[in-house]
Structure 1
Amino acid sequence: MLDVYFDEFVSSASASMTSHYSIDVGIGNPIAATPDGTDATLVHLSLGSPIIDGIMYNLTVFDVEDLSGNPMASQTIPFAHYEPHAFDVVINEIMADPTPAVMLPEYEYVELYNTTSLPINLQGFVLRIGTTDKIIGDVTIDPHGYLILCDDAAQSLFEAYGNTHSFSSFSVSNTGVNISLLNSLGSVISFAEFTDDWYNSSFKADGGWSVEQIDPLNPCLGKYNWTASDDNKGGTPGALNSVNAVNSDVVDPELLRAALENSSTVRIWFSEPMDSSSVLNPANYSISNGLSVFGVPTGFAPQYQSVLLYLDQPVQSGVIYTVTITDTLTDCVGNPLPVSSSARFAIADSLEAGDVVINEVLYDPVTGVDDYVELINRSEKIIDLRYVTLATLNDSLQVDDQAYVAPYGYLLFPGEYIAFTEMPVEVINYYNPIAPNQVMEMSGMPSYTNESGIVVLATAAGSILDMLEYNADMQDPILESVDGVSLERIDYDRPASDSTNWHSAASTVNYGTPGYKNSQYSKYEGGSNITVSPETFSPDNDGYNDVLNIAWQFGHSGIICNMKIFDSNGRFVKNIMENAPIGPEGVITWDGRNEDGQTAPIGIYIIYTDVFSSDGFTDKVKTVFVLAGKF
């Protein structure tokens, strides 16, 4: 059935003649033309051949008469039957703060763009702005055309710029809001999680300028595909965006991780927004150890970057399960996720202080990059970070400014690293880590000042799991600037409170290793009396033997230690410990700096260690090592 509308009442006899209608692409004349019983401007055409979805047709109408007997001239109208898929129509431009106006009407608007070569009717579609739904009426977007959505009061003003549809009380928050376009069934067609960061210009964010999508064929890239308009008017409603350019998504999606929501529900995460139809198909997943996916998964709209899988039976404690992708899943622009991608999950073990520790901190980032804190699971347990926070201490030395690192859960397996930051893409782009998926976005991360501060790892209840009190003096003195230089923990089995257990990340890794093994990692190997490792070190921050680990092992307790370093001519260089109570064994690190904070010259050095205890135990040890360098 094809409905034809005229601009005035038509003669029933004339409108009933099938010879007055013709459709191309092999359809021809309709088999019947039936005037509507109540609307004299409407005629229903019955066709002898079906209309194929997605094909453009042309209907030619001629000689149909009005009620006065005036025949119409021949007129051809294109039409198609097409049910839009996700991102066939995209949110393409947003004017959230029109004041002060540049050259456009001083009203908010949202522009839609039809990415297809077919006209798309939006009747019954919903524009959702935050929690407010605006139902779109009978309006069609032309192929590769635009539609301006605005307030009723602004419709006549924006009609000069193109096809316009208006609503009452139309408003977009200046600072940001989630905007979605839904079809009549509630499926997501397009979304934009707009924030005022999208302007990339503090001046234009103050008002009068729209944000425009750069590449409408890559609609899921978020803020990296949007920026402030470059048009002199302040925006381009109803026209090609001023910033339009190719910004293709050439990166395949990845399955990042899995975590239990409860004993029979597992949540999985993908690296980017996904196509909903593929990720909600239960046949695309398999579970190890005899489990199966039960029922239809639940996706988190509009991005579908996370999905809940329901299991046919509860998981068992002490068993590690694997969820595997068994068929092709795609991101929102069609890039495939590799089949057989998998992620592990299990019931987590109890968390205790020392299981997960702070392993690296970037507190003074370069411009355009943000702080990060890296953790490592040094235990043999599987730890869920769901109730773990990063924090600081206030003036009363109480845990303060807490923020969850992974409020929806993150399973950290033994020996694994994870770095948290508010700007993961920027951190990854700057440091190019070998494990980029181990850099994770965290909301509301505490602010750590550039000169000194306290990084606290704590439970949600405030119990401290680990703590680092840092300052700029802990950085390598040979560095002219410590901007963008992280502090790495040398040995995660040594206390974070030991300032000698921290060192600047190496220049060979661009001064940071978020999400993977520290460039300055060095493990105490043990030994009798006083040993050094390595026996030759070079404090040039190249990531190879940059620090000297000095280890001791005495079969005695209650020891007081004096440890000094001298050069080969017997000149004093550095006081390592003075009347310091130490345990029977331990390790301390020297970074090559003398008492004046300068790097000691190349040469042979001697550690002189003098220990004693109140019960008469004494020992004196000389240990030789070499400080080397490059020529």
Structure 2
Amino acid sequence: MKAKSWYFLLLGIILFTIDTYGRPIWFENFEIAEKGYWGDDDGLTIHADLSGITKWFLNVDNCSFTASNDYVKTVSTSGGRFEALDCDGEAVWTSEWIRISGESSVSCKLTTRETGSGKTETSKYIHVFYRLDDGPEQLFEINGISAGNWGEAVVEQTGLQGDSLQIVIRLNTSYASDKIIVDDILVESQEPPLLPENLAAAGDLLINEILFNPYPDCDDFVEVVNVSNKELRTDHLFIASRDSDGNLKQVNSFSAFADYLAPGAYLLLCEKPDSLPFIYPQNCAENFMSSELPSMPNDGGVVALVDDSLNVIDELIYDAKMHHPSIADEEGISLERRSVKLPTSEWENWTSAASVVGFATPGCPNSMLELDFQTNSVTFEPDVISPNNDGYNDFTNLHFELSEPEWLLNVLIFDVSGRLIDQPQKNVTIGQTADLNWQGQRSDGELLAAGIYVFYIELTNLRGERKVFRKSCTIVNKIM
């Protein structure tokens, strides 16, 4: 084990034994050497290698590299560090955007050093800035500027608050013996004290939706909902699976951050959630959290929510057979919970997400959620439309309120002569509530002539029950 890898161990010991709540959020010790830019003895060639570097970026557009020992790169010295030597122009090192939302107070600290005899402050310097939430660069308050022969300095900024943080380092050295060194960049949080009322007990947090057979460009996800009256600390919640003997395995923390999940709030866990809004139109991206999940086989498996002591908070044994019988291919279709009042373990409490919403509702209330509707109704608003893209009544909204979920929907459109014009919905699943827009056109995009159109709306369920609604909609003023 390399010497610098003991850093976090030492840090953990310090944090455990003194009266502080500091917790690392982001750390860079430049342990991967020879990443950056350097020159060649031919005086012309510039070498570059940033492969495998994902946490920071480097701009050397203003630098000049005329020899093999002119460089701005990481080196293996002292277990790894970042150096600039005779680059003859300002290099700019930039961190990735670091997530700090939900943290009470964030600080950043790093070490800078210099060697060599050069004292010219305009050509031998390092300036350290921070940015918050796409804001302007702001100089670190403690040793943000070092120039000439400063030796060594600890650069520090406290009181950082926002959603995201970026560190920007500008440095220059113009002599062959003058070296500038950056090492051990640490972003940490002053974590709030842990209170008993922020810890989840059994039944406080429920599994609400899962996707275990995703599309090729998508990852599994698990959505949870806080059904308690407590604000739950996500960094003390874990998700796991079980092995063949029933033992917990692949236990992963929701988050390393001290975020809070409010009563009634939804949280979607996914390793790479950024792709979900492009796949599922009904999504609530503000409730997404990037988290490592246990393996979730396509045919069936176990998802368990546990606390610090591995006590089970909620658990689901899922199976592909829990999908709606009308589903022929489960790929990309999530299982949704119908009711938070019924046990998680009941198969009847789970069904496929409605096709009318895109087969999943990541981060949002479920499309198949049971609601307290006593009757069935379908309404049009408005019932007269003018689809000319003038922003006024360009479409009508079909709003469904049904007494129970899991209906199969068919919609047929006829003209006043009784001729079938289109079938925009054919055997699609629908929950207790849904909204569908009609823009006065066929499914292939062809605009319809002005006139009266009759909608034949048929709903059937697994018990063979059938409900029929007939509504009319008039198209006027179709001239573009």
TM-score, normalising length: structure 1: 0.40
Counterpart for residue 601 of structure 1: 464
- Residues 479 and 126 of structure 1: CA distance in aligned 2, closer, same or farther (over 3 Å): same
Tell whether 2:203 aligns with 1:354: yes
Question: How far off its partner does 1:453 sit?
Answer: 0.8
Counterpart for residue 73 of structure 2: 127
Take 2:168 and 2:465, find their aligned partners in 1: how far apart are those partners?
Answer: 57
Counterpart for residue 237 of structure 2: 388
Contact 2:206 2:225 in 1 (8 A): yes
Contact 1:388 1:458 in 2 (8 A): yes
Tell whether 2:160 aligns with 1:297: yes
Counterpart for residue 431 of structure 2: 544
Correspondent of 2:294 among 446, 452, 460: 446
CA offset digits 1:308-345 (Å, max 9, x no partner): 676xxx98999xxxxxxxxxxxxxxxxxxxxxxxxxxx
Counterpart for residue 277 of structure 2: 428
Tell whether 2:360 aligns with 1:512: yes
Going by fraction, where is strand more abundant, 1 or 2?
2
Question: How far off its partner does 1:132 sit?
Answer: 2.0
Q: Partner of 2:306: helix, strand, or coil?
A: strand
The aligned length equals: 300
Question: How far off its partner does 1:515 sit?
Answer: 1.1
Counterpart for residue 471 of structure 1: 319
Contact 1:362 1:372 in 2 (8 A): yes
The residue identity in structure 2 corresponding to 1:539 is: W
Question: How far off its partner does 1:488 sit?
Answer: 0.7
Q: Partner of 1:508: helix, strand, or coil?
A: helix
Tell whether 2:257 aligns with 1:408: yes
* 1:176-325 matched pairs, under 5 angstroms: 189-190=93-94, 257-260=101-104, 265=105, 277-278=137-138, 296-297=159-160
Question: How far off its partner does 1:442 sit?
Answer: 0.9
Is there any run of 5+ residues in structure 2 with no aligned partner, and where? 1-34, 39-46, 52-56, 109-130, 143-156, 170-185, 375-400, 409-427, 435-458, 472-480
- Residues 628 and 543 of structure 1: CA distance in aligned 2, closer, same or farther (over 3 Å): same
Take 1:430 and 1:471, find their aligned partners in 2: how far apart are those partners?
Answer: 23
Question: How far off its partner does 1:487 sit?
Answer: 0.5
CA offset digits 1:372-406 (Å, max 9, x no partner): 00111111111001121111111221211111111
Tell whether 2:377 aligns with 1:490: no
Is there any run of 5+ residues in structure 1 with no aligned partner, and where? 1-90, 95-106, 142-181, 192-219, 221-252, 283-293, 319-346, 527-532, 548-590, 594-598, 604-626
Contact 1:259 1:411 in 2 (8 A): no
Q: Partner of 2:430: helix, strand, or coil?
A: coil
The residue identity in structure 2 corresponding to 1:258 is: G
Tell whether 2:41 aligns with 1:137: no
Question: How far off its partner does 1:601 sit?
Answer: 3.4
Question: How far off its partner does 1:348 sit?
Answer: 5.4
Counterpart for residue 247 of structure 2: 398
Contact 1:602 1:628 in 2 (8 A): no
Q: Partner of 2:432: helix, strand, or coil?
A: coil
CA offset digits 1:271-309 (Å, max 9, x no partner): 998568449689xxxxxxxxxxx95439977599x9767
Contact 1:391 1:402 in 2 (8 A): yes
- Residues 119 and 434 of structure 1: CA distance in aligned 2, closer, same or farther (over 3 Å): same
The residue identity in structure 1 corresponding to 2:262 is: F
Contact 2:63 2:87 in 1 (8 A): no
Q: Partner of 2:305: helix, strand, or coil?
A: strand
- Residues 468 and 507 of structure 1: CA distance in aligned 2, closer, same or farther (over 3 Å): same
Tell whether 2:213 aligns with 1:364: yes
- Residues 396 and 256 of structure 1: CA distance in aligned 2, closer, same or farther (over 3 Å): same
Task: Select the structure with the greater relative contact order (CA < 8 A; seq sep ≥ 6).
Answer: 2
Counterpart for residue 307 of structure 2: 459
Question: How far off its partner does 1:439 sit?
Answer: 1.1
The residue identity in structure 1 corresponding to 2:102 is: A
Take 2:282 and 2:75, find their aligned partners in 1: how far apart are those partners?
Answer: 37
Contact 1:385 1:411 in 2 (8 A): yes
- Residues 315 and 296 of structure 1: CA distance in aligned 2, closer, same or farther (over 3 Å): closer
Contact 1:538 1:628 in 2 (8 A): no
Larger radius of gyration: 1
Question: How far off its partner does 1:542 sit?
Answer: 3.8
CA offset digits 1:62-117 (Å, max 9, x no partner): xxxxxxxxxxxxxxxxxxxxxxxxxxxxx8999xxxxxxxxxxxx9944998575x
Take 1:280 and 1:433, find their aligned partners in 2: how far apart are those partners?
Answer: 42
